[in-house]
């Protein structure tokens, strides 16, 4: 199963109907909708659409087909925990988010992911524990369609200083949150981040 976000609306690419009840209201598409991928994208972009489920025999190949329709931008991000097991959260444009950003020329994805966490949250002493997964988010800018592939890493830090939000990136608050207070279903967050947290805590 792949989760491909179109303007923060999910397109679930899978072999069978997902069992999760949060996907129950999504429109179901089949192979005949694959002939013109951008038409399917436009359907989900419509204001009244909630997203979709695309049933197919080979989800990996379908993901490759969809990715080919966009200009790809790579980003790196962190699912960061401190020594108390608390998760690093930040508020961007009024919604809770996880730190991430574009990879700069000349740096590795891992370097870029750590740098973005440091810059957006004013944090130091980061260590990458493991790679977690990639997420896919599309958007339009000046008439062009872009696909942001975000590479997510679980990170750990011993940092105990004050967290400083990067205001120029529209980040207004950065906090450490206890696991028992994190409920992806009820969080005021972006749908792509919600699904990332669902996947992370299901592992």
pLDDT for res 185? 92
Question: Do 23 and 65 form a contact (C-beta atoms < 8 A)?
Answer: no
Same domain for 76 and 57: no
Average pLDDT, the chain: 94
Structural domain of residue 144, as residue ranges?
Answer: 72-202
Same domain for 154 and 126: yes
Same domain for 82 and 173: yes
pLDDT for res 31? 73
Same domain for 77 and 52: no
Residues 2-57: pLDDT tens digits? 999 998 999 999 999 999 999 999 999 987 767 788 888 999 999 999 999 999 99
Same domain for 101 and 119: yes
Same domain for 126 and 50: no
Beta-carbon-side half-sphere exposure of residue 186 (alpha carbons within 13 Å): 4
Residues 93-132: pLDDT tens digits? 999 999 999 999 999 999 999 999 999 999 999 999 999 9
pLDDT of residue 75 exceeding 80, the answer is: yes
Three-state secondary structure of the chain: CEEEEECCEEEEEECCCCCCHHHCCCEEECHHHHCCHHHHHHHHHCCCCCCEEEECCCHHHHHHHHHCCCEEEEEEEEEEECCCCCEEEEEECCEEECCEEECCCCCCHHHHHHHHHHHHHCCCCEEEEEEEEEEEEEEEECCEEEEEEEEEEEEEECCCCCCCCCHHHCEEEEEEECHHHCCCCCCCECHHHHHHHHHHHHC
Residues 124-173: pLDDT tens digits? 999 999 999 999 999 888 888 999 999 999 999 999 999 999 999 999 99
The CATH number of the domain holding residue 187 is: 3.90.79.10
Q: Report the pLDDT averaged over residues 64-78.
A: 93
Question: Do 144 and 73 form a contact (C-beta atoms < 8 A)?
Answer: no
Same domain for 179 and 86: yes
Question: Do 110 and 92 form a contact (C-beta atoms < 8 A)?
Answer: no
Same domain for 117 and 55: no
Q: Report the pLDDT averaged over residues 75-95.
A: 97
Same domain for 143 and 110: yes
* Number of domains the chain contains: 2
Same domain for 116 and 20: no
Q: Report the pLDDT averaged over residues 50-65.
A: 92
Q: What is the reported pTM?
A: 0.92
pLDDT for res 10? 95
Q: In the listed set 67, 87, 111, which residue is the last one of a domain according to the structure?
A: 67
Q: In the listed set 67, 88, 122, which residue is the last one of a domain according to the structure?
A: 67
Same domain for 131 and 188: yes
Same domain for 179 and 88: yes
Q: In the listed set 67, 83, 107, which residue is the last one of a domain according to the structure?
A: 67
């Amino acid at each position: 199963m792949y989760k491909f976000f179109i303007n923060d609306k999910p397109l679930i690419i899978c072999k069978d109907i997902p069992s999760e009840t949060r996907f129950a209201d999504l429109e179901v598409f089949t192979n005949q909708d694959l002939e013109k991928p951008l038409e399917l994208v436009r359907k989900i972009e419509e204001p009244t659409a909630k997203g979709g489920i695309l049933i197919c025999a080979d989800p990996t190949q379908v993901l490759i087909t969809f990715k080919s329709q966009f200009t790809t931008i790579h980003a790196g991000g962190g699912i960061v925990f401190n020594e108390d097991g608390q998760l690093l959260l930040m508020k961007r444009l009024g919604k809770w988010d996880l730190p991430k950003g574009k990879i700069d020329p000349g740096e590795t994805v891992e370097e870029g992911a750590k740098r973005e966490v440091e810059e957006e949250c004013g944090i130091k002493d980061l260590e990458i524990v493991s790679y977690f997964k990639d997420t896919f988010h599309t958007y339009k800018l000046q008439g062009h369609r872009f696909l942001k592939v975000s590479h997510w890493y679980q990170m750990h830090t011993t940092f105990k200083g004050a967290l400083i939000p990067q205001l120029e990136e529209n980040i207004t608050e950065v906090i450490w949150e206890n696991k028992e207070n994190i409920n992806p279903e009820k969080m005021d967050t972006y749908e792509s981040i919600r699904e990332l947290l669902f996947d992370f805590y299901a592992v």
